[in-house]
Amino acid sequence: MARLKVGIIFGGCSEEHPVSVKSAQEVARNLDSEKYEPFYIGITKSGSWLLCDGPDPNWENGSCRTVVLSPDRGVHGLLVLEQGRYGTIRLDVVFPVLHGTLGEDGAIQGLLELSGIPYVGCDVQSSAVCMDKSLAYIVARSAGIATPTYWTVTADENIDPDRLTYPVFVKPARSGSSFGVSKVSRKEDLLGAVETARQYDSKVLIEAPVVGSEIGCAILGNDLDLVAGEVDRIALSHGFFRIHQEDEPEIGSENSTPIVPADIPAETRSLVQETAKAVYRALGCRGLARVDLFLREDGEVVLNEVNTLPGMTSYSRYPRMMAAAGLPLAEVIDRMVALALTGKS
């Protein structure tokens, strides 16, 4: 049987470029070479597309070739520049191992829709909605799901610090991980925090804090046929959870420890999983997503955010939650590719 030709796109122009490279390394380690023929497409921080041997730490310095993903459905794959002429590589499916801006916001998904190539993960619409936390909250609320109290601040808009009750969290509305996020305890610090968030997005979100535990749930599947991974809980020693901000994330965080499975009652675990599935369906997700939530002391589950292309690194939450549910990453990859190709798990 011929192997499936899989384009694995990684890197990208966002602040999450290094995390994407590490995610692609883990995907490469768990990709079944008897089933798949991988083509590794690395996007540099400046936006150049290169066909390379693999996502090793120095991939840009290897034997790379200039490549682009053709929007022409007749090509159904890559245009490769060799000796001044273009060759083609047909792809069966693409796995965009990208995080953050231009990876999770519908941009790469739009290009893949034009190309006609099946791809892993959420479509253009759900990617864009989930990336914008304020839009995700609006959709979730309409589905009866609790969200934090929040305010949006658009580009060049002024906000009166006296109108808020502190503390509040200030974050970019459309950015990944914890980049640009600040906890503001005094009104004097609000405007500075807004400017910090604006370094990552012109639209800023100000949220009232939710008192409770930070929990998450990995979801895999399409439509009504969904698999939920084990629920995790982020145990904090101090401060707030700042994912992908650590100097050496492989050896752990200085203020947080993920507990998988979460140390919560079985009934609460089921409620978290069902809420995560409800969020996933309401936002139109497909393929996979990690739904981050808050669990209040009174048992209410509140949406935090949805990551449509969550980290796949050795220390990432999504593969840990799936592994705890009995699904190793190699099997998760098989299921994601099957979902992309057939729409079935």
For residue 245, the model assigns a pLDDT of 45
244 carries an active-site annotation: yes
Spatial separation of the C-alpha atoms in residues 194 and 182, rounded to whole Å: 9
Q: Which of 104, 203, 311, 337 is catalytic?
A: 311
Residue 113 CB: number of other CB atoms within 10 A?
14
Q: What are the φ and ψ backbone dihedral angles of 267, each rounded to 5 degrees?
A: -65, -40
99 carries an active-site annotation: yes
Strand partners, 49: 43
Pair (141, 252) in one structural domain: yes
For residue 345, the model assigns a pLDDT of 40
Collapsing DSSP to helix, strand or coil, 56 comes out as coil
Pair (139, 275) in one structural domain: yes
Pair (107, 239) in one structural domain: no
For residue 250, the model assigns a pLDDT of 54
Using CA of residue 239, residue 241, residue 242, residue 244, what is the dihedral sign? positive
**CATH code of 186's domain:** 3.30.1490.20
Pair (264, 240) in one structural domain: yes
Collapsing DSSP to helix, strand or coil, 59 comes out as helix
Q: Which of 19, 194, 204, 260 is catalytic?
A: 19
**CATH code of 236's domain:** 3.30.470.20
17 carries an active-site annotation: no
Spatial separation of the C-alpha atoms in residues 318 and 253, rounded to whole Å: 17
For residue 247, the model assigns a pLDDT of 53
Pair (169, 47) in one structural domain: no
For residue 342, the model assigns a pLDDT of 87
Structural domain of 190: 150-207
Got the DSSP string for 142-187? HTT-B---EEEE-TT----GGGS-S-EEEEETT--TTTT-EEE-SG
Q: What are the φ and ψ backbone dihedral angles of 237, each rounded to 5 degrees?
A: -90, -30
86 carries an active-site annotation: no
250 carries an active-site annotation: yes
- The domain total for the chain is 3
Chunked into runs of 10 residues, the chain (345 residues) has average pLDDT values of: 94 93 97 97 96 93 92 96 89 97 95 97 97 97 97 90 94 84 94 93 94 96 94 75 52 70 96 98 97 96 96 94 97 97 67
Pair (184, 286) in one structural domain: no
